[in-house]
Amino acid sequence: MPRDYEIMMAFKQAMKRDGSGRFTISTLDFVSELERLNWHYTLRAANSWIEMHTTTFRDISTADGDERTFQVFNPNGGM
C-alpha cells in the first residue's frame, strides 16, 4: 500500500543537478519514481502536485503540454 510520505521521496529522487549546479525535475522522471513506489499519477496530476506542494520551483519548460520541467529558484533574488 502506498504511503503519502513516499510522494516527497519520489520527488527528491527525481531531482537532477545540471552542470551549473541548479536542481531541476521533469514531470516524466517524477511520475517514473512514483510508479516505482506504487503511486500511479498522470503527468497532469504530477504537475499539479508540484505546483501545490513546492514554493521554490518554477516552470522552465520549452514546449507546451504536460511533459514539463521545473527548476529551483531563489525567490530572494539569486538563481
Instruction: Identify whether the C-beta of residue 42 lies closer than 8 Å to the C-beta of residue 68.
Output: no
Question: What does the DSSP assignment read for 42-65?
Answer: -HHHHHHHHHHH-SSEEE--SSSS
- Domains of the chain are 5-72 (1.10.10)
Instruction: Identify whether the C-beta of residue 25 lies closer than 8 Å to the C-beta of residue 57.
Output: yes
Query: 0.85 exceeded by the pTM?
Result: yes
First to last CA, the chain: 38
Which tens digit of pLDDT belongs to each residue from 43-76? 999 999 999 999 899 999 999 999 999 999 876 6
- Asked whether the predicted pLDDT for residue 14 surpasses 70, the reply is yes
